[in-house]
Structure 1
């Protein structure tokens, strides 16, 4: 039997469970007076944030909300949302950040499925939470959770007063019942759950993604390292904290003793204003937000930028044209990719110095790839969906992207069937299809459900979208399959036009876009139908392709050519 060189045991002096909660304690010790959070006229230091989080933990613990309990948070990017990422797990409980754009029915499902012991809700969304709880109550076997309303002086006081009159306790009043010196304890086991987040559930009930302290610790450090974030970074919260716990930057910023600039509502003007007035150095955003920045009216921008601003993008494959445009404006874009099940982005298109001398178009194409694994991820590959064998690194053979390691979720809450499918063969199955290039950088081609099969040939909707984004009048686009009498399926392009486009003749515009595509892609890739209008999106900026597929289905099949 193989043995180590010694038989020295673990002890309290040389081993501790990994948890990002220690980052907050250190930030308060090292930079007690540095700004931790800025939200309009509200300012907090790291010492104040640490004390507020301990108060939150204490107030929850005094009401027996700790290990094995879940605390739901329904709020935009505000200080209380940030504090919940530390205060809730300091009490031993699990934080469940809820998408504020969900309807009451879906939120009711989440609260019931997670057995939420407490609900922290921003005053603006109190009636949404109230409606969700009423739906849950009507189903029986209901234990009302502790209801905490987060007041905001920038909002109409009527909503706060209504919440207080209907059984809620105000957040700051709740904190006053807690001890700012609460002796919180780290988890005994780093496998203990720290956060719960739900998938979109577009085709079935949402699945609850359970994350552990170990993964949160490792990912919080990884996201900072792969981005080259340094101590004292000033981070703008354009990405919702409810989305994958803000890609773990909630915890990273404490590790870096940085400053969070909170935005209740994200607008292009607000982004540029924060860059100018708050000294922002970093922010994360989905490609749709980058598109808005690139196409913003000049009176909303501040150019040239006062400093280099680092931008991380993920959530959908960014068109190379958008990446190029952002770079020309003075932003340094880092392209990443991941899922809720991998603590958010977990691959990065690491930029290589030798690419600097390549033509701009080639650089953009290389940059649009999803790249290589994060430092904290142990395994990433593209495999044959049937045999699980790695596909050749030829940039052509399509397979499924799979993950393995410490920053893969514990599993789906109360869903053994989904877990068996997700972890089949010893890997986490993403459901995304991609290729592996000769340099081992991966590239997403599509979701398995989004691949268009036309005449037996696979068409990547992403590839078609990238070409469409090059058209001068296309602001946004999404491509889905539409039934086709001749080919089974053919691409259907949904297009949002840039402001100022002459829309007096949509037929002519459609013909022009199709002609443009014919000159730039294989004939069978060319969309046979073009639909103009706004694209439906999730709260994180992802286009809701299932709604577009439903619309394409309503349109009926493309008729067979009679030529």
Structure 2
């Protein structure tokens, strides 16, 4: 895409003429191989399309944009600045910022490990991650500087997000440029070990202390290529950053987009006004977002038929068939993927099938709502009967492909984490049976597609029957007046547990039920009875103004269970 406004980069960001985009290669590297590293993507992009717009940051006081050549120079400057600051191979560099495209490349160029931290965590949670990760340097956006502990003993570099001289971050990059003595890329050592750490991403911690998921350069490289291929991102694509880059390293899309030569638009917050402005006016072709964000998009007052198709890549929670069909009506192409932080984000996709063309939109959306099959560069996804935790060297048994028998999703291969950082016992449990155990319960359909039923902790056991909270939510969400719904177990004197539904009403219909919540609850229960077995029908329904969520849109059922426990 073309540059949307006039902007002059800092002098340190201007590359010298005749740049050679080649790192100092490790000695004795075999001629027929090279260590995989996602840094290669930006070097290749700068060499092939130096003047193409790579990054645009428009909805701020000081908008900026960078071509691939200029962005690559800034990445190089950052790498040298980190080395000058004492960062050594394997050190952790923490980033506390809404988006950090420079850091995703510059940190690994310095052979360090990127540790992106959720900006919406409490200061005590940030302090825990900084301590547990052993962060050796912190890059922090000015808006989140208060999250850095006052007694921190490592260097802290603040960015004012201006891209102009006088910004402490820009001064840090300029120091890196001076320190390089114009040795350019050849003055930086290439990492010889493709299994060296690339990122250290901490899980959301919804069930206790967050765990540090250590990924590798090889896994990041292969996962990024897979995401670019599965999303059909290419040189003509424009990717809008709605998903925050601190979430599972942005599902590897910071590297996917550079691999594909795509332009990227970054936002500081999930602002639906800005999002729709870019959908309608900036030629956006791709974005990622959790279902709760997608719900906000389709229900925004600006929502209308799109001027061009946009791939809406959905993950983070199971989308309802209703959400998928509503996205399609506006011209979005839903791409439903599934994964975890431990799998670099997505590793399965729900693939369109030729026979779906003859199905109704509702029927097609129900099939698309499944988690599907393993995608490019991943090994197969399996659903197995979970072995006992104390079983030695268990032989994993797959569930029958009947779409009914519930088991646990497991996988192995290229895009599975290296380990839980400094937690060998958690790593052992996660890899028990020679596969990564997701903790997600699912069924396998006759066509080989996986459908998640629930997290193991979210299954509702009612009268001896297992009820999937996700399956219940899928059906309740089909009520035309429901904007969003979440279901958890509540104790019952006769049945042990029964489902309780927390519902946000659609704004267009909320006034109809004002002061008549009891009538809506009755209507919702009738809706459920027509679609669910008796043990899965919600015994209780509560209308709420909002649902507790993580910053990436996952509903915090732990909070809902705390509310229910007091009832």
1:322 and 1:236 map into 2 onto residues whose CA distance is 20
Q: Who is 1:331 aligned against?
A: 332
Q: Who is 2:415 aligned against?
A: 407
Instruction: Using the TM superposition, give the Cα deviation of residue 268 of structure 1 relative to its aligned residue in structure 2, in angstroms.
Output: 2.2
Q: Who is 1:7 aligned against?
A: none
User: Which of 144, 150, 160 in structure 2 is aligned with 1:151?
Assistant: 160
Q: Who is 1:273 aligned against?
A: 277
Q: Who is 2:515 aligned against?
A: 504
Instruction: Using the TM superposition, give the Cα deviation of residue 153 of structure 1 relative to its aligned residue in structure 2, in angstroms.
Output: 4.5
1:362 and 1:334 map into 2 onto residues whose CA distance is 16
Secondary structure of 2:507 counterpart: coil
Q: Who is 1:123 aligned against?
A: 142
Q: Is the 8 A contact 2:338 2:348 kept in 1?
A: yes
Q: Is the 8 A contact 2:372 2:451 kept in 1?
A: yes
User: Which of 179, 184, 187 in structure 1 is aligned with 2:188?
Assistant: 184
1:14 is aligned to 2:11: no
Instruction: Using the TM superposition, give the Cα deviation of residue 277 of structure 1 relative to its aligned residue in structure 2, in angstroms.
Output: 2.2
2:46 and 2:108 map into 1 onto residues whose CA distance is 17
Q: Deviations over 1:137-194 (max 9, x none)?
A: 4xxxxx611101011359xx9xx9xxx9xxxx81111000012724223211101001
TM-score by length of 1: 0.90
Q: Who is 1:470 aligned against?
A: 478
Query: Which ranges of 4 or more aligned residues in structure 1 deviate by more than 3 Å?
Result: none
Q: Who is 1:372 aligned against?
A: 373
2:487 and 2:502 map into 1 onto residues whose CA distance is 6
User: Which of 518, 529, 536 in structure 1 is aligned with 2:529?
Assistant: 518
Q: Who is 2:20 aligned against?
A: none
Q: Who is 2:44 aligned against?
A: 26
Aligned length: 519
1:196 and 1:420 map into 2 onto residues whose CA distance is 18
User: Which of 57, 74, 78 in structure 2 is aligned with 1:56?
Assistant: 78
1:36 is aligned to 2:54: yes
* Structure 1 segment 250-261 matched on structure 2, within 5 A: 250-261=254-265
Q: Is the 8 A contact 2:305 2:330 kept in 1?
A: yes
In structure 1, stretches of 5+ residues that fail to align are: 1-9, 138-142, 556-563
Q: Is the 8 A contact 1:21 1:186 kept in 2?
A: no
2:516 and 2:355 map into 1 onto residues whose CA distance is 46
User: Which of 79, 97, 102 in structure 1 is aligned with 2:116?
Assistant: 97
TM-score by length of 2: 0.89
1:486 and 1:305 map into 2 onto residues whose CA distance is 51
Q: Is the 8 A contact 1:319 1:469 kept in 2?
A: yes
Q: Deviations over 1:16-37 (max 9, x none)?
A: 1001111111111011111110
2:357 and 2:519 map into 1 onto residues whose CA distance is 40
Q: Who is 1:244 aligned against?
A: 248
Q: Who is 1:531 aligned against?
A: 542
Q: Is the 8 A contact 2:328 2:334 kept in 1?
A: yes
Instruction: Using the TM superposition, give the Cα deviation of residue 11 of structure 1 relative to its aligned residue in structure 2, in angstroms.
Output: 4.7
* Structure 1 segment 482-497 matched on structure 2, within 5 A: 482-497=490-505
Q: Who is 1:68 aligned against?
A: 90
2:269 and 2:209 map into 1 onto residues whose CA distance is 28
2:161 and 2:463 map into 1 onto residues whose CA distance is 56
Instruction: Using the TM superposition, give the Cα deviation of residue 497 of structure 1 relative to its aligned residue in structure 2, in angstroms.
Output: 1.0
Q: Who is 2:356 aligned against?
A: 355
Q: Which is worse superposed, 500-509 or 403-412?
A: 500-509
Q: Who is 2:19 aligned against?
A: none
1:203 and 1:255 map into 2 onto residues whose CA distance is 35
Instruction: Using the TM superposition, give the Cα deviation of residue 478 of structure 1 relative to its aligned residue in structure 2, in angstroms.
Output: 0.3
Instruction: Using the TM superposition, give the Cα deviation of residue 336 of structure 1 relative to its aligned residue in structure 2, in angstroms.
Output: 0.4
Q: Deviations over 1:378-410 (max 9, x none)?
A: 231000013630001111100000010010000
Q: Who is 1:46 aligned against?
A: 68
Secondary structure of 2:207 counterpart: coil
1:347 and 1:400 map into 2 onto residues whose CA distance is 15
Q: Deviations over 1:417-473 (max 9, x none)?
A: 101100001000000000000010000000000000001100000111011111122
Q: Is the 8 A contact 1:73 1:97 kept in 2?
A: yes
Secondary structure of 1:29 counterpart: helix
Q: Deviations over 1:167-225 (max 9, x none)?
A: xx811110000127242232111010010000112222110000000000100100111
1:294 and 1:68 map into 2 onto residues whose CA distance is 43
Q: Is the 8 A contact 1:237 1:260 kept in 2?
A: yes
In structure 2, stretches of 5+ residues that fail to align are: 1-27, 388-394
Q: Who is 1:553 aligned against?
A: 565
Q: Deviations over 1:104-146 (max 9, x none)?
A: 00000000001111111110111122xxx23xx4xxxxx6111
Q: Is the 8 A contact 1:308 1:332 kept in 2?
A: yes
